[in-house]
A and B are shown apart, each in its own frame.
Chain A
Amino acid sequence: MHELSIALNIVEIASAEAERLGEAAVSAVHIRLGPLSGVVKEALLSAFEIAREKSRLAGAALVVEDVPVRFFCQPCQTEVTVASVQLLVCPVCASPAGKIITGRELEISALEIEA
């Protein structure tokens, strides 16, 4: 259960960014989250509610974009999305996954600022 520490990181990074943008009021933080990041979305959303308290982000929402696990399938010569992290194979030809292209993301993508 390290989601609270991750949520505190989000608040810290987003607050610094908001300050850099001239004391902007942040209404939402957008993040990209891959299933191989080791962070559970539901736990992170709850943790964020605690982490944002009494911070610059107290009124901000956390918007999570789920990033799928994708890899380049050699036999199919194309990028594919795996059906599940329990089965890292090509959904078309069942070849095992090689180098993972996406799915490890744990990053802030954007801040929603009140105009």
Chain B
Amino acid sequence: MKDHKKTRLVEVRTKILKENDVVARALRQRFEDEGVYVVSLVSSPGAGKTMFLEQTLMRLRDQYRVAALVGDLATENDAQRLARTEVPIRQICTGTVCHLEAEMVRSALGEWATQELDFLFLENVGNLVCPASYDLGEALRLVLCSVTEGEDKPLKYPTIFNTADIAVITKMDLADVVEFDRAVAHHSVQSVRPGMPVLEVSAKTGTGMDAWIAALSSRRGTPRACGVVKS
């Protein structure tokens, strides 16, 4: 069509996810003003996000005021599991949507008194692709991958690792059984995201959990250095 008709170019320069970015920026400002440190978790399905989060909440709840918002496609199983920690939990059922968006977080929070919290966790839908594009206003983004997924997960999903701040290798108690090569895994992370801190944990046995809680506590108050789709 354009070969036959005369056309002219009109410059537009608009971010395609500007609506999400606007909401995310407002959320980040709100969390900063309220003094709540917001941590999001992304991983593939079954990497152990919920178990990791459960153990994190258990370890933090005596010292800090903590809460979590968990995204899931259809069930409320994760929220029910996390309810055992006796900290406030809210569920976002995304239906067919494969990722959380800032607006979902905003509306799920509703009138929740987040200003009374020290930490708020956002568990994304299990997916290593789509969440990469959406800023949720979090201060810290963790990407989790389990030893059973192989050492090259970062090479397969470089973008999500690039948008995250810390990589967490989960299920370390199974490392020997699956002959997990730690050096190769660390090398994979560093090649897609140079300088990225990597933690090795087993939420089941507790290995590495103290180091994670210490890292988290020391980061609280440090503003997020690298946004996802910041302008």
Partner-B contacts on A (CB < 8 A): 1-2, 5-6, 9-10, 13-14, 17, 21, 24, 27-28, 30-31, 35-39, 59, 61, 85-89, 96-98, 100, 104, 106-115
Contacts and interface: CB of A to CB of B under 8 A. Distances in A.
Contact of B8 (A2, A10, A108, A112): A112
A14 B192 CA distance: 33
B159 interface: yes
Interface in B147-165: 155, 158-160, 162-163
Contacts, number: 118
B179 interface: no
A109 B13 CA distance: 4
Interface core residue of B162, B190, B193 (most chain A CB under 10 Å) = B162
Nearest to A97: B194
Contacts of B133: 2, 6, 37-39, 106
Given A86-B192, A89-B194, A114 B6 contact: yes
A81 to B, nearest CB: 15
A61 B193 CA distance: 34
B14 interface: yes
A36 B14 contact: no
Contacts of B162: 36, 85, 88, 100
Nearest to A27: B2
Contacts of B7: 27-28, 112-115
A110 B5 contact: no
30 contacts: A1-B130, A6-B133, A9-B17, A13-B16, A14-B12, A27-B1, A27-B2, A31-B16, A36-B159, A37-B133, A38-B132, A38-B133, A38-B163, A85-B158, A86-B192, A88-B162, A104-B229, A106-B17, A107-B14, A107-B16, A108-B16, A109-B12, A110-B10, A110-B11, A111-B12, A113-B7, A114-B6, A114-B7, A115-B5, A115-B7
Main secondary structure of the interface of B (DSSP, over half): mixed
B84 to A, nearest CB: 32
A6 B16 contact: yes
Contacts of A96: 190, 194-195
Nearest to A2: B130
Interface of B: 1-2, 5-19, 97-99, 129-133, 155, 158-160, 162-163, 190-195, 229
Contacts of B6: 114-115
Contacts of B155: 86
Contact of B5 (A98, A104, A114): A114
Interface core residue of B12, B129, B190, B195 (most chain A CB under 10 Å) = B12
Nearest to B17: A106
A85 B16 contact: no
Nearest to A96: B194
A85 B15 contact: no
A57 B163 CA distance: 32
